[in-house]
Amino acid sequence: MLKHVRVALAGLGILAASAGSAFSQGTLRIGMTAADIPLTTGQPDQGFEGYRFAGYTIYDGLVNWDLSKADTLADIKPGLATEWKADPADLKKWTFKLRQGVKFHDGTDFTADAVIWNLDKLLNDKSPQFDAKQTAQARGRIPTLIGYKKIDDYTVELETRIANALFPYDMSYIFYSSPTNWEKQGKDWVKVALNPVGTGPFKVDRMVPRERLDLSRFDGYWDKARVPKLDKVILYPMPEAATRTAALLSGQIDWIEVPAPDALPRLKQGGMVIVSNKYPHNWAYQPSMAEGSPFLDIRVRKAANLAIDRAGVKKLVGDMAIESKGHVYPGHPWFGTPSFDIKYDPEAAKALLKEAGYSATNKPKIKIAISTSGSGQMLPLPMNEYVQENLNAVGFDCSFEVMEWNALVTFGFQSVKGEASTKAGTNAINISRAFVDPYSAFMRLMHSEFLPPKGANWGLLKDAKLDALIDKAHNSFDKAEQTKALADAHTYAVDQALWIWIVHDLNPRAMSPKVKGFVQAQSWFQDLTTITMQ
């Protein structure tokens, strides 16, 4: 009997030994939240997680992001273009000087022809390489680009519909895949997805749909300071948070995205490192400014902002959030100097509602469209329920129209006056927003010309002063002036309490203590090239 027990224990010992990592130093294994590998052909899907892992790893933009610092907001820097400038005689024409000596992973040269070929891939549906899937991902990122031409092998001219000083930000979202590889793969983007070729710091070794994406260091990368220190990066789609947590704790992977807040203590107990940082994320309510909405009254908007106990919401998400003081967080270059202090002050909120003519028998009715889950939505149900209690406590009559994430996104494609919202009776929406660049932060959300379907100004906000401030930023070709104009726009937006701002996510990720050298930038994107494995 004892002999049998010993044999069984020996067997278990072998199993336990083989369960550990068999990987050599230099391989980083990451569990993504996506349920499938993001598109690898050039323009990734799956939101900014796709850009993070299948975008800036395999590809470069003409304009890249400086992700080297944790203490300042990530900003753009030269990528495949060394410099760019708008023509002073015609501000709608931009000249981009391309970097010489850049090679695709297949050894072919990156030139102006490759830029034109890739822009045709997205914008010219008559071109043989046109790819509707990539267009779907990219077109909204370059709303003003209307023309492009080659000047010489290393110079291209891009034309915008209007003068747009922020156009270089737009170009940071456009990636360049190898035309030669597309030919080699039989001019078939599905095959290219399995064998993609870019210019980025990592090349693709293997792509197994829904299972894994294997990347390895590209030794010929043009930016020698960013040649990856790692040998390999393996990306796994792991949509279930509990699975990611277990895989990290068991040593099957080294890094997980978005650990569940309630798993953080267990991860810390297991010796894992939780890394987080501010980044351009906004969890807020976008109110209706349409006729009949209670939010037309600034006192109601201010009351809603003052009614919310943000410290409580923060606690709910395991402290992985910062309390909002506006559309962007304090310390952000665009924060400005708003005089309206967004804080938890229920008494002031009650007084404002009273002043606005509301009472216990005449409460302002608000109905918010929310989702049950979704990219960037954090923990939408408990967070919204918490805020609902706060709002009702000061005299609001708050209810929700709850829907699944994709349904909410579709719902947001129409304005508050659209059929879906009218039918549901909603007068606010809760879609978390990124404010990566000035266009995504202000123009598309708050400018009166960007009402759906053109933009995402769902609540039909029309404020001439705000429009002028946003326009000024878009027309300022001097960086300091541009930043000042954006700070003025933000100051105005906060002072007018144009939205109900709640928290900014802190973008937590958990990793094994073996992962060294990672700097979490204040960005949705991150640089994996600095990482080593101990």
**Residues in touch with other proteins (CB under 8 A):** 12, 15-16, 18-20, 22-23, 29, 35-36, 39, 45, 47, 125, 132-133, 135-137, 139-141, 143, 189-190, 193, 206, 208-212, 234, 236-240, 242-243, 246-247, 249-252, 270, 403-407, 409-410, 412-413, 431, 440, 444, 452-456
Q: Output 237 or 438, the one with its CB closest to other proteins.
A: 237
Q: How far is the CB of 136 from other proteins (least distance, A)?
A: 5
Give the C-alpha separation, 145 to 125, whole Å. 15
Q: How far is the CB of 264 from other proteins (least distance, A)?
A: 15
User: For tokens 């990672």, what's the residue?
Assistant: 518
Give the C-alpha separation, 18 to 3, whole Å. 23
Structure tokens at 352: 């404002």
Q: Please answer whether residues 377 and 408 qualify as being in contact, where contact means their C-beta atoms are separated by less than 8 angstroms.
A: no
Q: Output 263 or 466, the one with its CB closest to other proteins.
A: 263
Alpha helix stretches (DSSP H) within 75-219? 112-123, 132-138, 167-171, 179-184, 189-194
- The single-letter code of the amino acid at 257 is E
Give the C-alpha separation, 432 to 115, whole Å. 33
Q: How far is the CB of 354 from other proteins (least distance, A)?
A: 37
Give the residue among 189, 223, 214 at the shortest CA–CA distance from 42.
189
Q: How far is the CB of 189 from other proteins (least distance, A)?
A: 6
Give the C-alpha separation, 356 to 300, whole Å. 7
Give the residue among 299, 228, 291, 257 at the shortest CA–CA distance from 56.
228
Q: Output 113 or 404, the one with its CB closest to other proteins.
A: 404
Q: Output 336 or 412, the one with its CB closest to other proteins.
A: 412
Q: How far is the CB of 406 from other proteins (least distance, A)?
A: 4
Q: Output 237 or 336, the one with its CB closest to other proteins.
A: 237
Q: Output 444 or 504, the one with its CB closest to other proteins.
A: 444
DSSP-based three-state secondary structure for 74: coil
Q: Output 231 or 309, the one with its CB closest to other proteins.
A: 231
Cα Rg of the chain, angstroms? 25
Structure tokens at 183: 């030919």
Q: Output 4 or 423, the one with its CB closest to other proteins.
A: 423
Whether residue 508 is preceded by a cis peptide bond, meaning omega within 30 degrees of 0, is no
Q: Output 29 or 217, the one with its CB closest to other proteins.
A: 29
Q: How far is the CB of 211 from other proteins (least distance, A)?
A: 5
Q: How far is the CB of 346 from other proteins (least distance, A)?
A: 33
Q: How far is the CB of 184 from other proteins (least distance, A)?
A: 18
3-class SS string, 276-315? CCCCCEEEEEEECCCCCCHHHCHHHHHHHHHHCCHHHHHH
Give the C-alpha separation, 519 to 71, whole Å. 10
DSSP 417-483: TSHHHHHHT--EE---EE-SSHIIIIIHHH-TT--TTTS--TT----HHHHHHHHHHHH--SHHHHH
3-class SS string, 20-70? CCCCCCCEEEEEECCCCCCCCCCCCCCHHHHHHHHCCCCCCCCEEECCCCC
Count other Cβ atoms within 10 Å, centred on residue 224: 6
Q: How far is the CB of 405 from other proteins (least distance, A)?
A: 7
Q: Output 17 or 225, the one with its CB closest to other proteins.
A: 17
- Order of strands, sheet of 90-98, starting from the edge strand that comes earlier in the sequence: 81-87, 90-98, 155-160, 145-152
Q: How far is the CB of 409 from other proteins (least distance, A)?
A: 5
The answer for residues whose C-beta is within 8 angstroms of residue 144's C-beta and 6 or more apart is 160, 161, 162, 164, 167, 170
Q: How far is the CB of 212 from other proteins (least distance, A)?
A: 8
Q: How far is the CB of 177 from other proteins (least distance, A)?
A: 14
Q: How far is the CB of 460 from other proteins (least distance, A)?
A: 16
Q: Output 330 or 453, the one with its CB closest to other proteins.
A: 453
User: For tokens 């990368």, what's the residue?
Assistant: 221
Q: Output 33 or 68, the one with its CB closest to other proteins.
A: 33
Q: How far is the CB of 215 from other proteins (least distance, A)?
A: 13
Q: Output 23 or 477, the one with its CB closest to other proteins.
A: 23
- The single-letter code of the amino acid at 472 is K
Backbone φ, ψ for residue 416 (5° rounding)? -60, -20
Q: Output 321 or 436, the one with its CB closest to other proteins.
A: 436
